[in-house]
Amino acid sequence: MARTKPKLGNTHVPDILRFEIAPGEAAYKRITIQLREVILSKALPPGTRLPTLAELARLWKTNYFTVQTALTPLVNQGLLMRRQRKGTFVAGTTPEIKAVGIYFGASFWQVRHVAFYQALHAALCEYFERLGITVQLFMDSRPREQQGTPWKVLTDAVECREVNAVISAMTTSEEVSWLEELPVPLTMIGGATYHSVDIGLSNFLRNSLVRLKERKCRSVALISGGEITDFETFQKMAEEAGLKTRREWALVRDACAGEFEEFGFDSFCRIWKGATKPDGLIVFPDHIAPGVAMAILQQGAKVPEQLKLVMHCNEEVYAHCPLAADWQVVSIGGIVKALWTNLRAQAEGKTPKKAASCLTIQPETAELPPMHRKWRSGQSLFEQP
């Protein structure tokens, strides 16, 4: 005997809502994604009344609470409207981002070198002000053992629609796990998620190696503050660029190590006191560079005659170095624009691409490291968005 479709009262159910949820798939996530795509495709005209939650639960073979959970993000994003005693209706317009929350994780309080994040916050505020979007700062100061649970201050702000998009920075994997559950567009600095923006360390290394080869280097060392590739990968990249390296030349700071400047100083001294010395050196990130520069001067290494340098800096963060170096420059302005692109893509129902901020190389000159002089003189960092 043929099975009949479940009865859904007097509500007409468009065929486009009749989709399957795969076994083992999180039902609420599937419903949210599928329904968002349906609304944004205009397959359901504005004003369309959805079946009741109970009817939708029967249709998708789930329960009332799962459907309610799935529809809530679409209401928060402005794609659906709930009318008391009348039901849930398609709003039919692309949700507009009007208020962005900037969330700094608990690790912010354990890091001394926060000039990058200070400049990032200032740049985000300026950029969104030009777009007419309000910004609210959230600084999570909870103990580390609480980081894996949602922070009520932020979740309440989302629920009350004080913010309808979130940008996060300096977050642990525990914080990311609950941030990704927020029912609003989310993007972050760093991380492996599809909606993150980073500086592209692979590109940083590859460009640095190419530059050192152009300057006739034959060997290369690396002093890094972490979050960079393992030695085997670095060695392979160096070989592809036509450069040699050694394991004792690739020094990466452990998360439990001391100060960045101290690490940079000690690392260069270890390399330069070795029996064999490299003629090229890559330094990342910028707050290790002062320690490296002091060690170079103390050890009497001649730059660029004996040693050629490629160092990282952020365009909008002042850095001073008395040594001639090639600078790999990260633009905070570029990061801000990439973050905004990610948020807009999610608001429009698209899957954002993991983005790497633009890196540019400033060749070695007699001048100081690059400073964004317009930014430091109080002028706008951005052209018209």
Q: Is 126 exposed, middle or buried (0-12, 13-18, 19+ CB in 10 A)?
A: middle
- Residue 10 falls inside a structural domain: no
Give the residue-averaged pLDDT of 369-376.
55
Q: Buried (b) or exposed (e) across 338-362, using 16+ Cβ within 10 A?
A: bbbebbbbbbebeebeebbbbbeee
Percent of the chain with pLDDT over 90: 45
Q: Between 64-76 and 27-40, two packed helices, what is the crossing angle to 10 degrees?
A: 40
**Which of 90, 124, 152 corresponds to the end of one domain?**
90
Task: Give the chain's domain count.
Answer: 3
Looking at per-residue pLDDT, the higher value among 342 and 85 belongs to 342
Give the model's pLDDT for residue 383: 61
Give the model's pLDDT for residue 2: 43
- Residue 9 falls inside a structural domain: no
Give the model's pLDDT for residue 12: 66
Whether residues 85 and 26 fall in one domain: yes
CB 105 within 8 Å of CB 177: no
Q: Residue 85 corresponds to which tokens in the numbers above?
A: 């005693």
Whether residues 186 and 230 fall in one domain: no
Task: Output the CA–CA distances (angstroms, integers) from residue 91 to 48, 81, 88, 344, in the order listed.
Answer: 8, 6, 9, 18
Mean pLDDT rounded to a whole number for the chain: 85
Give the residue-averaged pLDDT of 73-77.
78
Q: Is 17 exposed, middle or buried (0-12, 13-18, 19+ CB in 10 A)?
A: middle
**Which of 90, 107, 140 corresponds to the end of one domain?**
90
Domain of 205: which CATH number?
Answer: 3.40.50.2300
Give the residue-averaged pLDDT of 95-100.
85
- Residue 385 falls inside a structural domain: no
Separation of alpha carbons 246 and 232, rounded Å = 10
CB 100 within 8 Å of CB 166: yes
Whether residues 180 and 311 fall in one domain: no
Whether residues 238 and 277 fall in one domain: yes
Whether residues 327 and 276 fall in one domain: yes
Percent of the chain with pLDDT over 70: 88
Per-residue pLDDT at 168 exceeds 90: yes
Least confident of 74-83, 159-168, 259-268, 326-335: 74-83
Phi/psi for 272 (5° steps) reads -75, -25
CB 370 within 8 Å of CB 327: yes
- Residue 381 falls inside a structural domain: no
33 pLDDT band, cuts 50/70/90, is confident
- Residue 210 falls inside a structural domain: yes
Per-residue pLDDT at 348 exceeds 80: no
Give the residue-averaged pLDDT of 159-178.
89
Whether residues 234 and 364 fall in one domain: yes
Whether residues 236 and 364 fall in one domain: yes
- Cross-strand pairs, 282: 222, 310
Give 170's contacts (C-beta < 8 A, 6+ positions apart): 104, 105, 107, 108, 111, 117, 189
Domain of 70: which CATH number?
Answer: 1.10.10.10
Task: Output the CA–CA distances (angstroms, integers) from residue 371 to 163, 320, 375, in the order listed.
Answer: 33, 9, 8
Whether residues 105 and 179 fall in one domain: yes
- Residue 194 falls inside a structural domain: yes
Give the model's pLDDT for residue 254: 79
- Residue 56 falls inside a structural domain: yes
Whether residues 208 and 322 fall in one domain: yes
**Which of 45, 69, 90 corresponds to the end of one domain?**
90
Give the residue-averaged pLDDT of 131-160.
91
Give the model's pLDDT for residue 258: 64
Give the residue-averaged pLDDT of 275-281.
97
Looking at per-residue pLDDT, the higher value among 311 and 95 belongs to 311
Give the model's pLDDT for residue 293: 96
- Residue 117 falls inside a structural domain: yes
Give the model's pLDDT for residue 256: 54
pLDDT digits (tens, 9 = 90+) for 280-314: 999 999 989 999 999 999 999 999 999 999 999 98
126 pLDDT band, cuts 50/70/90, is very high
Domain of 58 in residue numbering reads as 15-90
Per-residue pLDDT at 365 exceeds 50: yes
369 pLDDT band, cuts 50/70/90, is low
Give the model's pLDDT for residue 366: 65
Whether residues 370 and 265 fall in one domain: yes
Give the residue-averaged pLDDT of 325-349.
89
Whether residues 186 and 128 fall in one domain: yes
Whether residues 68 and 184 fall in one domain: no
